[in-house]
Copies of this chain bind each other. A is one copy, B any other.
Amino acid sequence: MAIETVSIVGVGLIGGSFGLALRAAGFTGRIIGVSSPRTIEAALERGAIDEGRPLAEAIPWSDLVYLAQPISRILEVLPEVSRLARAGALVTDAGSTKREIVERARGCFADDPFFVGGHPMAGKEQRGVERAEPDLFASATYVLSPPGSDLPDAPVVDEFVAWIGKIGAHVVLLPAEAHDKVVSWTSHLPQLLSTALAASVGKRIARKDLLRVAGPGLRDMTRLAESPYEMWKDILGTNTSEIEQALDRYIEELQALRNDLASDQVEQSFRDAGQLRRRLSTKR
């Protein structure tokens, strides 16, 4: 057993769920939480961690360090974590963008202790350890982005990958840059379209009773718009160039439809769109 002590830094929805999921999957070692006193209290009550400690006391004792803070905090704390981590330990993170985090880690980490970037494709609109669930990762894709071309060859890495499987997630190995490009299309673009739609409709349909003249489509298409800006600020700030490119391509697609709503191009777009839906429904 390479992993006996785990530190979860930032015990929110993801960090808390990771602790609960490890326990539910049979992890019998110690789980230390690093968070504000209020959050530690809630996480202890929820059973997501065994104890709370400051960063400097938690990291040196840990075989696995799980950074689950907002992206900007992960970037800030990485140098200190790399200094505190002990030989043989694995540091990983759960940030929604990977390029800046993995680049920063390349500058801090040498060979050992190890670093592997991570992104569990799980979550919900609500935040906080109070919403944490042991099965949040069930059936989810879990991207791992190593700083090099492959995962570090070490028992602690193999065991972490095994735990990801035990909590029900499916590992996809993807370089940080490729990850950030894919999620700009599959996650960041959908979010911004939803936000822009809700904001536009809110401006145009001012009479409250007229919102009754809406089918379920508007409701579906604006559900993501409930995500708070605070969750998205760091994502937009650390994947700016990819998001700009995706938006540019998307606006071109929309402009082409708009320029001739009676064209064959519109019919072709409906067919292409239906095809993507069929790919999505058979993606595994």
A residues with a Cβ closer than 8 A to B are 121-123, 141, 143, 170, 172, 174, 179, 182-183, 185-187, 189-205, 208-215, 217-229, 232-233, 236-237, 240, 243-244, 246-251, 253-255, 257-258, 261-262, 266-267, 269-277, 279-280, 283-284
How far in angstroms is the closest Cβ of chain B from A36? Answer: 24
How far in angstroms is the closest Cβ of chain B from A194? Answer: 6
How far in angstroms is the closest Cβ of chain B from A121? Answer: 5
Q: How many monomers of this protein are in the complex?
A: 2
Flag if B121 contacts A222 (CB, 8 Å): no
Bound together, the chains give a CA A9 to CA B258 distance in angstroms of 33
How far in angstroms is the closest Cβ of chain B from A184? Answer: 9
- Residues in B with CB closer than 8 Å to A249 are 200, 204
How far in angstroms is the closest Cβ of chain B from A23? Answer: 24
- Residues in B with CB closer than 8 Å to A217 are 186-187, 190-191, 194, 224
- Residues in B with CB closer than 8 Å to A196 are 250, 253-254, 257, 269, 273
Flag if B208 contacts A279 (CB, 8 Å): yes
Q: Closest residue of chain B to A224, judged by CB?
A: B217
Bound together, the chains give a CA A197 to CA B269 distance in angstroms of 10
- Residues in B with CB closer than 8 Å to A236 are 261-262, 266
Contacts A196-B253, A229-B270, A237-B261 given; indicate if A204 touches B221 (C-beta within 8 A): no
